[in-house]
Amino acid sequence: MTDHSTAGTWDVIVTPWHLDEHIPAFPIPATAAETIRPALPAGPVPARMSLLHQAVADAVARAARPLLLSGDCPAARAAVAGLQRRHRDLAVVWLDAHGDFNTPAITVSGYLGGMALAMLTGRTPGLFDDALDPRPVPDTSVVLVDARDLDPAERDALTASQVRRVPADPAAITAALDALGRTPVYLHLDIDVVDSAQLPGLRFPSGPGPSLTQIEECLAAACATADVAGAGIACAWLPDRVNDQTTREAITRLVGALGADLAWPEPAAR
């Protein structure tokens, strides 16, 4: 195992959006390199998301080692597209309570956030009418961690795929990454993978799951094993909870597990 844990510093990019909706209260670290706030014209949600993702991809492509803090999982589509501008091949490690493997054909709710990993593997052609679409990541280059909360058709789609599924266990993630070889990795984390009793205010709580400490260990193991070219944390709390002290502390801990330090602005004087 090669130790990559201290290979380079992180450029924190903040995308304070959930799908096409801006989140005014989203916490912006004082140490952020860039915050993405494009003016989006009125129109269909996918069209607005396309413009947002173009801006995110450009920022990721400019960053030496991007770490994206976003309000949703589909922002990973933009992060991967940006990284693919300089990496011919890219693997994805996806830590999530959900599979995010729904498609327009099988989704029950129609929620675009539940299709994020399917987007990356080329299963949603035509969903976004733009030139951003990342090159599909082969199923064999995807490691899905946890995914304890799946829709029935989504479960069937994953079973039929070649996506590798592992538990939220550092040793299992290390073994899966060793099997991928030296391909650079995009490491994605949706904070709802953490036991929902430990993180109140999640948009989509999924009940009992791994502890925050266990997920920190998983992130550290991934960074110590693989060439993590970029990472993203979907800070998917409810809008009125995303800037709580407990959420900031969780974000700080998870970013710290990746080897980065966050500093937050001082509270405004009253």
Domain residues of the chain, as ranges?
Answer: 11-257
pLDDT at 131: 84
Per-residue pLDDT tens for 55-87?
999 999 999 999 999 999 999 999 999 999 999
Give, to the nearest 10 degrees, the angle between helix 245-257 and helix 212-225.
Answer: 30
Cα distances (angstroms) measured from residue 235 to each of 23, 39, 231, 232: 11, 22, 13, 9
What does the alpha-carbon distance between residue 164 and residue 141 come to, in Å, rounded to a whole number? Answer: 8
pLDDT at 147: 98
pLDDT at 133: 79
Per-residue pLDDT tens for 21-42?
999 999 999 999 999 999 999 9
DSSP string, 112-157: GGGGHHHHHTT--TTSS-SS--PPPPPGGGEEEEEEEE--HHHHHH
Among the listed residues 255, 256, 251, 232, the one whose alpha carbon sits nearest the alpha carbon of residue 13: 232
Decide: 117 and 171 in contact? Cβ < 8 Å: no
Fold of domain 11-257: Arginase; Chain A (3.40.800)
Burial of residue 88 (number of CB atoms within 10 Å: 0-12, 13-18, 19+): exposed
Low-confidence ranges of the chain (pLDDT < 50): 1-7, 269-270
The structure tokens 């991007």 sit at 66
The SS3 assignment for 190 reads strand
Q: What is the pTM of this model?
A: 0.95
